[in-house]
Amino acid sequence: MQQAITLESFLAFLTYFGAGVAVLFVAATIVLLVTPHSEIKLIRAGNSAAAVAFAGSLIGLALPIHSAISHSVSLLDALIWGMVAAIVQVLAFVIARIASGKLSSQIDENVMSAGIFSAAIAVSVGLVNAAAITP
């Protein structure tokens, strides 16, 4: 009878999980740094539009990181593709912010439609980004 979870598989899980969370943290930090408004400060102040926008950013970043881990042949491969995916996501985020003009100021003003639109862009690009990471 085989064990479902071995020490080796559990350690592999911890390693890949840790790497994925680290890439997510770094990418989310970069998003926070390139955002013209202070999302964390706005969220703490109860700004729902900022919370929705940042939640979309996190999901949009997590999707391609998930795909990178799922399709990787090694931890290094997962890290490389995870970082590539994160860079693509951050670039898409910056382009969307520039193209949309007033989006950042609308999020500052708690305009929910701006937060939803920002989240939708992040998740949409994240899905396409994730699909592009194939074995």
Domain locations along the chain: 19-132
| Backbone φ, ψ for residue 120 (5° rounding) | -65, -40
What confidence tens digit (pLDDT) does each residue in 58-117 have? 999 999 999 999 998 899 988 888 888 888 888 887 888 788 888 889 999 999 999 999
What confidence tens digit (pLDDT) does each residue in 103-122 have? 889 999 999 999 999 999 99
State the distance between the two ends of the chain, measured CA to CA, in whole angstroms.
31
CA 7 to chain centre: 30
Q: Quote the CA–CA distance of 8 and 98 in Å, as a whole number.
A: 46
Q: 90: closest CA among 23, 43, 2?
A: 23
Q: 96: closest CA among 132, 62, 57, 38?
A: 57
